Structure 1
């Protein structure tokens, strides 16, 4: 059994998507970010950076004792190797997946996170910050759009690279983006959002921008909401 320390942020959602896709047994340990659960000593003992997600694998292959892992990219890599799924064995393809995973971790996540903050959470409107991060995020959407022009998924077959990026594209409207301006990315998004594991993941999660509980139907209509 895997314990998933979780809140329904994009980084939390991508790990849950993997667990659902792979069919690995897991148990959610909710981490309420609004009341500071992420700073509690018992959580920091698992995730020294005080950020979700984190996991504890109670049956790791590498040792007899439970294994804790933090950082969503590291968790995805660990789980892919554990399950033998969604990560190519061929070295050059594996390297491609790693590059796009790190691209999400270092680029798409931070930039989309900033526009989400300034566009939704900030207590005052800061046009310079909003425009800067909207443009940066649009540029990264464009990189993915170009990559997806001649392949179904980011690295041919569906992989942890797709799982890492998808939850950062779901709130595209809050990020000031119109997916119809990125036709290849839009096509990719439409394919992934209807995967059963993705619908299960979003089916009982609360939207991080509205606080509204998402239903299964919401994930099936995310791509068509008010995009102009």
Structure 2
């Protein structure tokens, strides 16, 4: 039996089977990266619902695993040298890819290509789309100064053009389905939630909808998109 007593988070979100990988998450674009990857790899895991409320993500228990107070985070009881805790969705994708030898590319060159697009999502698409959502759907929409909103709308348009160009003539970002797709597609899908597709010129790039449709049709993606369930 795995001993997770070194992880205070396991006292607030108690594992039923501590031999399984433990996922602490919520179904946001970043959160579902981890759940989709786990579903795609077939690793046995337990999902714990960590809401975005301060009561959860700023709790002492959650901060003990992720001091940056963001989901997702994991504990792998079967880590290298013993149980290991990880936060940051990109790091989790790389770790799980290396653990299972899946979705990182067929060889070193392919892995480099996949990794660059994963880093592009982490450093560009995710942060910029998150700000777009704030200024279009959430509290930022009430700010009188139009410049912040215009900045993120413009940057979202540019980033859509980048990924659309990368997808021309391809089914996936790399030669095969990879962690890059698991990172990128949920953020493209977030434009539906933000009600911002028209605003950022989504229909100017038909390749994007085809790509998103392919992604969302995968059975593992269908399951992972609502793990843990949004509602308790």
Please say if 1:26 is aligned against 2:45: yes
- The more displaced of 170-179 and 81-90 is 170-179
SS class of match (2:57): helix
Instruction: Give distance in 2, aligned partners of 1:123 and 1:150.
Output: 37
SS class of match (1:171): helix
SS class of match (2:70): coil
Structure 2 unaligned regions, length at least 5 = 1-19
Q: Which has the higher contact order (CA 8 A, sep 6+)?
A: 2
Q: Which residue of 2 aligns with 1:58?
A: 77
CA offset digits 1:106-151 (Å, max 9, x no partner): 0000000001111112165233222211111111111000000022
Q: Which residue of 1 aligns with 2:207?
A: 184
- The more displaced of 93-102 and 117-126 is 117-126
Aligned residues: 205
Q: Which residue of 2 aligns with 1:88?
A: 105
Q: Which has the larger radius of gyration?
A: 2
Q: Which residue of 2 aligns with 1:148?
A: 167
1:89 Cα offset (Å): 4.1
Q: Which residue of 2 aligns with 1:122?
A: 139
Please say if 1:195 is aligned against 2:215: no
1:200 Cα offset (Å): 1.0
- The more displaced of 14-23 and 180-189 is 180-189
CA offset digits 1:155-183 (Å, max 9, x no partner): 11000000000110112231622432211
SS class of match (1:169): helix
1:202 Cα offset (Å): 2.4
So what's the TM-score if we normalise by structure 1? Answer: 0.85
Q: Which residue of 2 aligns with 1:77?
A: 94
Whether the aligned pair in 1 keeps the contact of 2:25 and 2:73 (CA below 8 Å) is yes
Considering only aligned residues, what root-mean-square deviation do their CA atoms show, in Å? 1.6
Please say if 1:11 is aligned against 2:34: no
Compared CA separation, residues 154 and 6, structure 1 to 2 (3 A)? same
Whether the aligned pair in 2 keeps the contact of 1:54 and 1:71 (CA below 8 Å) is yes
Q: Which residue of 2 aligns with 1:132?
A: 151
Q: Which residue of 2 aligns with 1:106?
A: 123
